[in-house]
Amino acid sequence: MPRQVHLFDPPERFVAGTVGQPGDRTFYLQASGDGRTVSVALEKAQVAVLAERLEELLEEVRRRGVGDVPVSAPRELEDTAPLDAPVEEEFRVGTMGLAWDGEDDRVVVEALAQPDGDAEPEVEPLSDEDEGPDALRVRITAEAARAFIVRAERVVAAGRPPCPLCSLPLDPEGHICPRQNGHRR
């Protein structure tokens, strides 16, 4: 079955966000543009790693001097608005890929759908194969990537506070702490 690649070049908006309360949140990447919005679900750790890897990619491009990369996100690109509603999951992310397009000074971010039980053919991220998992692909400026990083880090940090003893997340009613020999903290 041919795969569907949701391409936004460039998106009007590309953000990480959540739906739900801390401890019961679902994380999304959402891209919008040309009257359409695509939302893909992923894990909190994937959002954190994407922000970290984007930062590393931008720093490497800046260090090598092969692109125009700002040191920080421009204030006018700060996005604190909630995800665009309705949030309808297109697919759950399995693999992600990042690249720098030096010709256009753009960051390319791709999220591939997690394979179903009947595994689809393996496809490398950022490839133009006709077969394979669906994908969300966005091409953004370095400034927009910096703004994405700031928001993604804020979204990840907005979860439940860590237990001061074991660092596991604290629920509002506490949790069973391994450092307290299984007693509630």
What whole-number distance in Å separates Cα of residue 124 and Cα of residue 59? 24
**In this predicted structure, which of 117-121, 132-136, 179-183 has the lowest mean pLDDT?**
117-121
**Range with the lowest mean pLDDT among 9-23, 33-47, 170-184?**
170-184
| pTM: predicted TM-score of the whole model, two decimal places | 0.85
Task: Decide if pLDDT at 123 tops 80.
Answer: no
Q: Which of 60, 39, 12, 21 is nearest to 113 (CA)?
A: 39
132 in Cβ contact with 162 (< 8 Å): no
The values of phi and psi at residue 55, to 5°, are -60, -45
- Model confidence band, residue 1 (pLDDT cutoffs 50, 70, 90): low
Write the CATH number of the domain with boundaries 5-160.
Answer: 3.30.2450
The pLDDT value given to residue 57: 97
Report pLDDT for 152: 97
Average pLDDT over residues 69-78: 87
Strand order in the sheet with 36-42: 5-8, 135-140, 106-113, 89-101, 36-42, 26-33, 13-19
